[in-house]
Chain A
Amino acid sequence: MEEKMGKAPNSEYILEAVDLCKYFKAGRKQYVKAVDHVNIRMRHGETLGLVGESGCGKTTTGRTMIRLYEPTSGKILFEGQDISKLKGKELLHFKKNVQIIFQDPYASLDPRMTIGEIISEGMDVHMKLSEEEKEKRVNDLLRKVGLNTEYANRFAHELSGGQRQRIGIARALAVEPKFIVCDEPISALDVSIQAQVVNLLMKLQREMGLTYLFISHDLSMIQHISDRVGVMYLGSIVELAPEKTIYSASKHPYTQALISAIPVADPEADTEKDRIKLEGEVPSPLNPPSGCKFRTRCRYATERCAAEAPVLREVEPDHFVACHLCE
């Protein structure tokens, strides 16, 4: 760490997770491996969708990547520099560059603060602004996310879910981040509002050159917004590829099952569709199966799958799969 943050030579990737692990203690000598040796490389200006079932570690991955949780092991590189051990001022500088938008627009805004105070909270930490400058910036941000500047003096409970989510976005944008984790930002919203918020996020990305890690379990929405898609299962990435490849030429049996589960609006086409049904439940993360974690529900599972855990490898350019079948 000889060079100061910010002066770093721009690396090809904005944020990289290298063998990132986050284990939570669950009783004596028992650990939940919420994130287990995850490798993700985020390119400048792209949107990477992260999908998976509930409890597969999507949110933990996102939160660990921006140091909201301390990683158990592994490295996080921001513009080529390891930030996983940063403290104090340097950590603060990193936090200015990465932000997060939360799922629940009702829990993510302090009920005791006005909208103006919520949005300017980050500015108080990272920018030394006068009251007028602050007010001007708050108004700019409100306009940017499509809200009336009048709202600056209101409280969160006076707003609807979609409006609150816009406030959450404005709060994240206030510190001019380069990278934003969108942690299921639309799943708590009404369908008609979902489209508005997603379009707003895409517009902001174009205007400000943001990079998104977009976490969701809505496969259609991920397809709409993402450049690349990562599929997670029980704390590990099983497949990572450009959006088109994932949706038309996926290689991992789990991804194939997920894609086949996307409902089709046409009832005739829907019944004709060959749906892969997964048997059984997701195994407990406290006691994951040996070898490949997906083998208990995989119809192609062999003895090798139980003995040896597959690693994520590039099977074709830019297409990563963790499966023994794809070698």
Chain B
Amino acid sequence: MTAENKRNEAMMPDIPDEKFTIIGIDENAGEVLARKRISYWQDAWRRFRENKIALVAAVILIVMIFFIIFGPMISGYEFEEIDNTAINQGPSAKHWFGTDNLGRDLFARVWQAGRVSLIIGLVGAFVASIVGSIYGGIAAYFGGVVDDIMMRIVEILLSVPYLLIVILISVITDSKSLGTMLVALTLTGWCGIARIVRGQMLQLKSQEFVLAANALGVSPIRIILKHMIPNTMSLIIVAITFDIPGYIFSEAFLSYVGLGIQAPQTSWGALCAAAQQNFMFYPYQLLFPGIMIALTMLSFTLLGDGLRDALDPKQRK
């Protein structure tokens, strides 16, 4: 017993041992966790909700998709229905967005056109990201010479102007349908995502948690499924949302210059092209499809922005 202990004892009044009882310790009493347990996606949703701009963009998109699906029915007109008695009429109670130079109801046509534009946007972005992810993933996984060759191919493809490819394909297949355009646009469209995925996977490959899984003896397939893909997922989702407006715009542009959707089918770009001839006299014919293109692109971009912040757990405040 040290001197210090003796001193302490001297200062203490006599307390009999019986007065002490062992009450034990509650192992969880030390730290009480204040925050409720939430999953990754719940957490992402919580962060997304806080971003009001992205939320508004999402609501706008939902409303637009609703009209794109049900709009043509609501209007009460067929989108190809020609009415010679109602040519170039301005917006009215009868024709909400007016009519075009053949007397077709623009409200029905705008939403019908939206179907084409949105299908191209969604399908194009999905196909491109699936192809791109697989390609980029393979390049990153094997690395070395395989990676070099695969990435050089991507660079060559990216250097070819897509307009040239579209013209070539429509000449070769002799058609200007939705399918042809999708093929033409996705043919080079996947390159961007392939690069993003490759970059992310290369970075992940050298991360210590992948090394740790390696040290534990986890098989390569499991490492890819459990570590690489989940950690790339948010990046791919964000890339898709940013890609969709790109496809919508490309389609609009191609249809505008006459390489895209042909009459009587229509798309926003084709509507704009048709309206442009009479723009001085009937500006509303250009206004409505123009607003739709702008609104969709803006909403998808803002949504992508919000998703990027929400899906990154490190951004958590």
- Interface residues of A, Cβ cutoff 8 Å to B: 63, 66, 68, 91-92, 95-96, 98-100, 102-104, 107-113, 118, 121-122, 125-126, 143, 148-151, 153-155, 157-158, 168, 171, 175
Known: A95-B216, A96-B217, A126-B217. A157 touches B314 (CB 8 A): yes
Question: A112-B40, A150-B33 given as contacts; is B313 within 8 A of A100 (CB)?
Answer: no
Whether a CB of chain A sits under 8 angstroms from the CB of B13 is no
Q: Are A121 and B216 in contact (CB under 8 A)?
A: yes
Most chain A beta-carbon contacts within 10 A, residue among B33, B216, B217, B314? B216
In the complex the two chains form, what is the Cα distance from A118 to B231 in whole Å? Answer: 14
Q: Which of B172-200 contact A (CB under 8 A)?
A: none
For B30, give the chain A residue with the smallest CB separation. Answer: A148
Contact assessment for B208 and A157 in the assembled complex, using a CB-CB cutoff below 8 Å: no
Are the C-beta atoms of A171 and B217 separated by less than 8 Å?
no
With known contacts A148-B31, A158-B35, A111–B217 Cβ distance under 8 A: no
Instruction: Given A102-B212, A104-B208, A155-B40, answer yes or no on A110-B217 (Cβ-Cβ < 8 Å).
Output: no
Which residue of A has the minimal Cβ distance to B216? A122
Q: Is the CB of A110 within 8 A of B209?
A: yes
Q: B7 — which chain A residues lie within 8 A by C-beta?
A: none
Interface centre among B27, B35, B40, B209 (most CB of A within 10 A): B209
How many angstroms from the CA of A19 to the CA of B99 in the assembled complex?
A: 86
- Count, A-B residue pairs, CB within 8 A: 84
Given A104-B208, A111-B314, A157-B316, A68 and B214 contact (CB-CB distance below 8 Å): yes
Secondary structure at the B interface, as helix, strand, loop or mixed, is helix
Complex interface: chain A residues within 8 A of B211 (CB) = 63, 68, 100, 102, 108
Contacts of A118 in B (CB 8 A): 209
Q: In the bound complex, do residue A110 and residue B33 qualify as a contact, i.e. CB atoms below 8 Å apart?
A: no
The residues of B with any CB-CB pair to A shorter than 8 Å are 27-28, 30-31, 33, 35, 37, 40, 43, 207-209, 211-219, 226-227, 230-231, 313-314, 316
Closest-by-CB residue of A relative to B209 is A110
Which residues of B lie under 8 Å from residue A153 when comparing CB positions? Answer: 37
Taking CB atoms, residues of chain B closer than 8 Å to A96 are 217
Give the docked Cα–Cα distance between A270 and B174 (Å). 87
The interface residues of chain A lying within 8 Å CB-to-CB of B33 are: 148, 150-151, 154
User: In the bound complex, what is the Cα–Cα distance between A302 and B37 (angstroms)?
Assistant: 66
B213: A residues at CB distance < 8 A: 121
* Complex Cα gap A108–B208 (Å): 4
Q: Which of B27, B226, B231 contacts A143 (CB 8 A)?
A: B27
Q: Which A residues lie within 8 Å of B35 (CB)?
A: 158
Cβ B28 vs Cβ A107 within 8 A: no
A97 to B309, CA, bound (A): 41
Closest to B219 in A: A125
Smallest CB gap from B204: residue in A: A110
